[in-house]
Structure 1
């Protein structure tokens, strides 16, 4: 079987992250929500908190790996997209919010634990 494309690998990582977060009791509100400023991978509800979960997959740990890929520029884009999401879905605007990161690394993520950072950064 040929190796997965980066798009397929990213989608598989998102699927795994979604299953994990749902097993932790979070409820999916939106997946791959797109706007002009960017995209939100997973928008979840954790009790009464809206969680903007960024799923990061990297094959290798080089250059900081999956976690190292969330730089200041990426954080600003996520914050802008989250703001637009809350403006367009006002039923969630009054809820507390946080930004989480779900990081996966390695070929097919086999043998690699998923890392979930709650409240990974603030805006």
Structure 2
């Protein structure tokens, strides 16, 4: 796997309670560097263009970058990505704390939540 990445993305279906792992190709990590790049690419692959941002077709992702959980200053950061209800385009937000490193230490580069809770 490309340096700094775990090589797995977790998808959690909130309707069924099921989870699945995906192992993206290394080219995805090279072409879409960091939490925003990787997250937006996953959104593009999983959300239909006309999907309602407030509907069950939208997904919410917490995505780490290659420096997350390393000794590098600021490496506790992660990105939250989704389809914006304001613009209809993608939206991202940067956050810090222990979630990013914990996600990486658990063996995942990202976790995406699909659909809605019943």
- After TM superposition, the score normalised by the length of structure 1 is 0.32
- After TM superposition, the score normalised by the length of structure 2 is 0.33
Greater fraction helix: 1
Q: Tell me which of the two structures has the higher relative contact order, counting C-alpha pairs closer than 8 angstroms and 6 or more residues apart.
A: 2
Greater fraction strand: 1
